[in-house]
Amino acid sequence: MTAYIIRRILYVLPILLGVNLLVFSLFFLVSTPDDMARQALGDKSQSPEQVQRWKEAHGYHYPLFYNAGQEGWKCLSETIFFRKSAAMFWGDFGLSDMTLEPIGKEIRSRIIPSLCLTVPIFLITIVTNIFVGLLLAGLRGSWADRIAQFGCVLLMSVSALLYIIAGQYLFARELQLVPVSGFLPGWAMAKFLFLPVLVGVFCSLGSGIRFYRTVFLEEINRDYVRTARAKGLSESRVLFLHVLKNAMIPILTNVPVQMLFLVMGNLLLENFFSIPGLGGFTINAIATQDFAIVRAMVFLGSVLYILGLLLSDLCYSLVDPRVRLG
């Protein structure tokens, strides 16, 4: 078991390195530091001296991968790749291209609001989806099931933007139950987070319920279910105790995928509800063409996703003893 965990953790490193290299080459091989400097300086001031000064102020004056002017270890460390990209491995996210503020500090202060939004959505979504999915699997073939299935397709076919706009209009403007947008730290955040969480849960309801329904249906035709029924167990006992336990494996595989969708949802939700989280930070960076922040956020997002996958794999091996042998 320990060997499996260690092997699984070590496997993360080459993936992270690959992501880092990919992001670096996407940013630096397509638009060189000179291009970035010119873009940041605007049309007016583009003399070679000014470009050079901008690059030095932002730390882009090093060579890309190999610094021939330095000796020993510094050949590699005094390069853009090492200082701007590899440094993200030990949490050094560098400075913003536009404001020269440290990005790491900003991330640390924004991660709490983001988590306060994401974690409730994530938990409520999973519990609701599993419960309703199980219920529909129990009702399979009935009219209620058919209507619910069509409802799921309908929910999936509506843009998330509509849920947000309609939610804001209905709850905040017409009924005036919650504020339209904004954020306060501490317990006061609850009234600001109520609507975004509700909308966030609603967005993933359609596809989520459908997915879990299929998962449970796959289990419901197995032999052990027939045995359990033959022993005279009630249908709800069969569903909630036997089917649910055995469906844990596909559920756990799907969880990181759901987290991936939350990233997208978060960008929209944080933008609409003015929540000072990482999503809003990214959107601002896109609007101001701040390459350094976007680069840092892409890497951070990938790290979080890979960690999520790792976590789900480890849970997987705890739930299913067969995995450990493989």
- Point out which residues bind another protein (CB under 8 A): 14-15, 18-19, 22-23, 26-27, 30-31, 141, 153-154, 156-162, 165, 168-169, 173, 214, 217-218, 221, 260, 263-264, 267-268, 271, 282-283, 286-287, 289, 291, 294-295, 297-298, 301-302, 305-306, 309
| CA gap 270, 42 in Å, rounded | 29
DSSP bridge pairs for 95 = 102
Give the shortest CB-88-to-another protein separation in angstroms.
14
Q: Enter the tokens of residue 19.
A: 């992501």
Residue 160 or 193 with smaller CB distance to another protein: 160
CB atoms within 10 A of CB 154: 10
Structure tokens at 287: 């609007």
Supply the minimum distance, in Å, between the C-beta of residue 262 and another protein: 9
Q: Are 274 and 182 in contact (CB under 8 A)?
A: yes
**Residues with Cβ < 8 Å from 303, sequence gap 6 or more?**
16, 19
Q: Which is nearer to another protein, 189 or 306 (CB)?
A: 306
Q: In angstroms, what is the minimal distance from the CB of 109 to another protein?
A: 20
- In the complex with another protein, the residue whose CB is nearer, 30 or 230, is 30
d(CA 264, CA 225): 38
Q: 266 vs 317, which CB is nearer to another protein?
A: 266
- Nearest CB to another protein, comparing residues 214 and 234: 214
Least separation, in Å, of the C-beta of 189 and another protein? 23
In angstroms, what is the minimal distance from the CB of 98 to another protein? 13
| Residue 226 CB neighbours (<10 A) | 12
Q: CA Rg, the chain, in Å? A: 25
Q: Which residues pair with 45 in a beta bridge?
A: none
Residue nearer to another protein on the CB measure, 125 or 266: 266
CB of 73 to another protein, least distance (A): 27
Q: How far apart are CA 14 and CA 253, in angstroms?
A: 21
- The pair phi, psi for residue 122, each rounded to 5°, is -60, -50
